[in-house]
Amino acid sequence: MSGGILLKLSRLTTLTLLTVLAGCSTPPRPGGSAYQINESMTATGQNNRIDMIVLHYTAGTTLTALAVLTNRDVSAHYVVTDDIKPLVYRLVNENMSAWHAGESSWYGRNYINPRSIGIEIVHPGWERNSTGGMGMPYPPAQIDVVVALTRDIAKRYGVAPENIIGHSDVAPLRKQDPGPAFPWRQLAQAGIGRWYDEAAAARYQADFSRKGVPDAKWFQTQLKRVGYSVPETGRFDTSTKQVISAFQMHYRPELVSGGPDAQTAARLQALPTTGSAFVSTDNPPEQPPAK
């Protein structure tokens, strides 16, 4: 083959490549923009901006919640009502950041509004007590809607089970919603969120009851392992007890005491760092130890 033919083929290949690349470019923007965007290549180093879902309760009625969430410096992406047939209001587009979590932290990631979807659930709220009162139950129909909505969002963004959390989990020193009445175990059974290994927790509880409850440093280390922001003081100070309370609201809702007892330690140790754990559908959660 002659050199002239090779040169012509080379020029033709180059021209074809340039034509293909030009076709991958977006046309100039209206208004005579001075630049074009070429989308012919894609970087591998990327992920969804959204990697958390935070559940809240409104501590009020639907009307009150909608008024507050649309007219003040707080907001949420969604509100799920407590009607017989619950409605879902979308107040903020998922492409935008809602102002729902405030000062917050999870697995060392601070101020999580820009990376999370916030869901407000209409509920009267919960008052802290020492009797084991869990507050008003959430209506089953409402929870069914929350499950469906949360599942859809988690699937859309690939949200990991450990990152489906409550406001009290990410802001344990300030918040207590969605409260101990929220059925986290039911969500875990539906494949949403994280739960502890119940069989392992029973074994750990027997060990802790026999050998003694771990010290403050152990609790602080374990709480940090599963995502919570906790002071590492080596003491059961006020802040540490509030974080223990937040853990109990999620994983030991039958008695939110803030106390470092054997049952709380056992469930904490049986909680995986990431992912989900087996949840028995046959037996109810263990009741708190007799006083």
Q: What pLDDT score does 287 carry?
A: 46
Residue 264: which of 254, 274, 277, 278 has the closest Cα?
254
Instruction: Identify the band that residue 291 occupies on the pLDDT scale cut at 50, 70 and 90.
Output: very low
Q: What percentage of the chain exceeds 90 in pLDDT? A: 80
Q: State how far the Cα of 136 lies from the Cα of 40, in Å rounded to an integer.
A: 55
Answer whether residue 2 shows pLDDT above 90: no
The pair of three-digit structure tokens given for residue 219, joined into one six-digit string: 């609790």
Q: What pLDDT score does 18 carry?
A: 42
Q: State how far the Cα of 113 lies from the Cα of 166, in Å rounded to an integer.
A: 13
What is the set of domains in the chain, with CATH numbers? 52-189 (3.40.80.10), 198-269 (1.10.101.10)
Per residue in 81-127, pLDDT tens? 999 999 999 999 999 999 999 999 999 999 999 999 999 999 999 99
Q: What is the mean pLDDT of the chain?
A: 89
Answer whether residue 30 shows pLDDT above 60: no
Q: Which residue reads 């969804």 in tokens?
A: 48
DSSP secondary structure string for all residues of 18-59: HHHHHHHBPPPPTTT-S---B-S---SS---S--EEEEEE-S
Answer whether residue 14 shows pLDDT above 60: no
pLDDT average, residue stretch 157-179: 97
Q: What pLDDT score does 26 carry?
A: 53
The pair of three-digit structure tokens given for residue 116, joined into one six-digit string: 């999370």
| CA 226 to chain CA centroid, nearest Å | 12
The pair of three-digit structure tokens given for residue 237, joined into one six-digit string: 């100070």
Q: State how far the Cα of 54 lies from the Cα of 271, in Å rounded to an integer.
A: 19
Q: What pLDDT score does 7 carry?
A: 43
Give the number of residues written for the chain. 291
Q: State how far the Cα of 72 lies from the Cα of 92, in Å rounded to an integer.
A: 13
> At CB < 8 A and 24+ separation, what contacts does 148-152 make?
149/78, 149/80, 149/88, 149/119, 150/53, 150/55, 150/119, 150/187, 150/192, 150/193, 151/190, 151/191, 151/192
Per residue in 44-66, pLDDT tens? 988 889 999 999 999 999 999 99
pLDDT average, residue stretch 168-174: 97
Answer whether residue 15 shows pLDDT above 50: no
The pair of three-digit structure tokens given for residue 129, joined into one six-digit string: 């007590």
Residue type, 156: R
Per residue in 174-183, pLDDT tens? 999 999 999 9
pTM across the whole model: 0.85
Per residue in 242-266, pLDDT tens? 999 999 999 999 999 999 999 999 9
What residues form DSSP beta bridges with 116?
Answer: 52
The active-site residue, picked from 94, 103, 120, 162, is 120
User: Cα–Cα–Cα angle for 283, 183, 270, nearest 5°?
Assistant: 60
The pair of three-digit structure tokens given for residue 192, joined into one six-digit string: 């949403």
Q: Which residue reads 């020193």 in tokens?
A: 173
Q: Is 120 a catalytic residue?
A: yes
